[in-house]
Amino acid sequence: MDPIAAWHTEHVYFNQLLGLLQRQLDLFHRDEELNFELMMDIVTYLRDYSDRVHHPREDAAFARLATRCPDLRLMLARLSQEHRVIAHAGETLLKVLQAILGGAIIAKGEIEMAIATYLVYYGNHIAREEEDVLVRAAKELTREDWDAVRLAVPSVRDPLFDGDPQERYRALRRQIALEA
């Protein structure tokens, strides 16, 4: 698959998951019951796949693109920094969800802040890449650059969207299909 198309497709998938998470936050605001297991699966997937495969691959592409487009260096550095912020926000949200599923009582404001922080950072980050980076990467990066990006991060099967999902993510995949 074309690397830009693959990059965009993963963003579409991640936005679907963020949409599911947003709907849980909306339920929260209406004082309705939340599906903490679903939220845990969403964040776990995004931590396991996006933070460990997708974002490192992007960082490798950013490094190549910064060399070819010096005018983008500052923005690309910020986007790489956001990868670390998103990972930290995801880890914070995971801890909150694990505590809730473990029976802990967590203040409503703390739950809301953890979910909202993750959603805002992640959603804005994807939008920025889609608007400002993918078009330039498509124009500027060569086949050699894309080969280097591919080799920078080990190839890992997407456990949710690539064919039959792993057992852990089957319920999440069904929920995505219901929402579509």
What local confidence, expressed as pLDDT, does residue 54 receive? 97
Q: Measure the CA dihedral 140/146/148/152, to 10°.
A: 120
Please count the structural domains in the chain: 1
pLDDT digits 0-9 by tens, 127-164: 999 999 999 999 999 999 999 999 999 888 999 999 88
CA angle 77, 78, 81 (to 5 degrees): 90
What local confidence, expressed as pLDDT, does residue 155 receive? 87
Q: What is the pLDDT of the chain when averaged over all its residues?
A: 95
Going by pLDDT thresholds of 50, 70 and 90, the confidence category of residue 20 is very high
The mean per-residue pLDDT over the stretch 12-21 comes to: 97
- Number of residues in the chain: 180
Note the pTM of the prediction, 2 decimals: 0.94
Which of the pair, 151 or 1, is modelled with greater confidence? Answer: 151
Q: Which domain holds residue 23?
A: 3-179
pLDDT digits 0-9 by tens, 90-109: 999 999 999 999 999 999 99
pLDDT digits 0-9 by tens, 28-66: 999 999 999 999 999 999 999 999 999 999 999 999 999
For residue 85, give the CATH number of its domain: 1.20.120.520
Q: Are 85 and 121 in contact (CB under 8 A)?
A: yes
